[in-house]
Amino acid sequence: MSDEDITLTAGDAEVTVQPGNGGRVGGLRIGGLELLRQGERFGCFPMVPWCGRIRDGRFLDGAEVRQMPLNAPPHAIHGTVRDHAWRTARTSPDEVVLTYQLVDPWPHSGLVTQIVALTEDALTLTMSVETYDSSFPAQIGWHPWFNRNLGGEDVTLGFDPAWQEERGDDHLPTGNRLDPKPGPWDDCFGMPGGVEATLIWPGQLELTVTSREEWVVVYDEQQEAVCVEPQTGPPNGLNTMPRLVTPLEPLEAGTTWSWRRL
């Protein structure tokens, strides 16, 4: 199937999925309000096979040190899959299944599958990484850019993390855990009971991001958008908290955005 944009609809919700632009969700409109920042780099893109930054672009893969391209010098950031076209495996009016075969510069073969499913009051994104070859460390995450303003008051963000990862001058976690500090943030937080964060555009809409994963990066150090990024591990996690994908055990993750009118 082609990599042209796909539109999903349910009730007054409409989602644009862009297989040809990194498998990202390009737009989410609810009652005509566009919630995601528009532009080729924005929307909501999948982060695979790592999330956030890898220190110096290097990670230990078994006994071998691997080098990824430094696309955010001096680090590598947000994986490789957002830079390539995905294949549309299946589509219906309210769901699409996309796949992507991992290729160079990632050193291992693997299949990434993403399912985008829309209902009248929620969008669910699920993703898996599987291999039939050698095992490798990987991460899964999503990077949505929620518009700060929908034409009324600016959004507010509420969440209650157990800790905040201390951020070094290099923007990577130092390994120390802190009591959560007030924003603005470009920081990783731990939520052992699962991610739950609520964005409220006063008088307009309330949207809650949930995930069974325990890690979320919040980035609101810019004017246009607020990013709430559930992921399977912290930045630099290929080095500090590797999760192995094996022929017997894929890596799987999901997130749901549910909303209600105010």
Model confidence band, residue 261 (pLDDT cutoffs 50, 70, 90): very high
Could you give the CA distance from residue 69 to residue 107 in angstroms, rounded to a whole number? 12
Model confidence band, residue 1 (pLDDT cutoffs 50, 70, 90): low
Could you give the CA distance from residue 171 to residue 166 in angstroms, rounded to a whole number? 9
Model confidence band, residue 3 (pLDDT cutoffs 50, 70, 90): confident
pLDDT (tens digit, 9 = 90+) per residue, 60-81? 998 999 999 999 999 999 999 9
pLDDT (tens digit, 9 = 90+) per residue, 18-43? 999 999 999 999 999 999 999 999 99
| Interval 186-207 mean pLDDT | 98
Give domain status of residue 84, yes or no: yes
Above 80 in pLDDT, residue 177?
yes
Angstrom distances, CA of residue 177 to CA of 88, 113, 148, 190: 41, 33, 28, 9
What whole-number percentage of the chain has pLDDT above 70? Answer: 99
Range of the domain at 181: 6-261
CATH of the domain at 139: 2.70.98.10
Give domain status of residue 82, yes or no: yes
| Stretch (H or E) spanning 240 | helix 237-240
pLDDT (tens digit, 9 = 90+) per residue, 224-237? 999 999 999 999 99
| Interval 136-162 mean pLDDT | 98
pLDDT at 142: 98
Beta partners for residue 28, in sequence order: 15
Model confidence band, residue 2 (pLDDT cutoffs 50, 70, 90): low
Give domain status of residue 1, yes or no: no
Angstrom distances, CA of residue 209 to CA of 3, 59, 87, 236, 237: 27, 30, 26, 23, 22
| Interval 174-190 mean pLDDT | 96
Model confidence band, residue 17 (pLDDT cutoffs 50, 70, 90): very high
Could you give the CA distance from residue 166 to residue 101 in angstroms, rounded to a whole number? 34
The overall average pLDDT reported for the chain is 96
112 close to 131: Cβ distance less than 8 angstroms: no
Q: How many domains does the chain have?
A: 1
Tell me if the pTM is above 0.75. Answer: yes
